[in-house]
Amino acid sequence: MMSKLWILIYIQISLSLGLLLGCSHKHLEVKSDAELINTNVWTAKRVNSLTLSTQLCTDQSIKELAKFLNLRRLRIYSSGITATGFQDLPYFEQLTHIYVPRSAMGNDALKVLVRAAPNLAVIDISYCPIGDLGVQALALLPKLEYLDLSGTDITSLSIETFRNMPNLNFLRVDNTDISQAEVTSLFESLSIQNCRKEDASPTR
């Protein structure tokens, strides 16, 4: 009888600790592949916001993301991840925000991202090697609301694609080949807020 009582107490304590740990792992910042590799599956399931913050996070880190099943926000500030690495992105059903500025993410990797995270609403791919073909892939995201394409290789050919993004309400295209006049016209024809164009001459 006592043994059953101790078992019940142990289960109750375990559940309580699980709830406490669940609250303490909502955001995780990692600085190397080793940290991600050593993150166990149970911890990963409790993380809904993840930051890869240094160049010690390489392509191996992208492969390790598969265990973060409940991820909603992903920030990658690492020059150690290559264009090939980005093409190994796992499927993220719940991911809504991704920030990968000044990274190696290109058109092909962006197509993978669209398939891997179909519910994205916020994307920052500023100063990445993204062109008009990449923007066409983004048009497949029905929930996209915020898009930062500053410093990318897009041209006026992307204007029509922006018009086919029904929920887009923030667009930034500073330091691209899109002219100020084109941005103004787009702003006037769509309900896009904060459509900014600080410099019509590319400075890349």
Sheet holding 73-76, edge to edge: 27-30, 49-52, 73-76, 97-99, 122-124, 146-148, 170-172, 193-196
Segments in 33-149 forming alpha helices (H):
33-37, 41-45, 59-64, 83-86, 107-116, 132-138
pLDDT at residue 12, as a whole number: 43
The answer to whether 83 and 58 have CB atoms below 8 angstroms apart is no
Q: What is the pLDDT of residue 201?
A: 34
- Chain centroid to Cα 127, Å, comes to 15
pLDDT of residue 14: 41
The residues pairing with 27 across neighbouring beta strands, listed in sequence order, are 49
Q: Give the tens place of pLDDT for each residue, 16-61.
A: 444 344 444 599 999 999 999 999 999 999 999 999 999 999 999 9
- Assigned architecture for domain 26-196: Alpha-Beta Horseshoe (3.80)
Residues 13, 5: Cα–Cα separation, whole Å: 12
d(CA 73, CA 27): 9
In this prediction, residue 196 carries a pLDDT of: 56
Q: Is the pLDDT of residue 142 over 60?
A: yes
pTM: 0.82
Predicted confidence at residue 105, as pLDDT, reads: 95
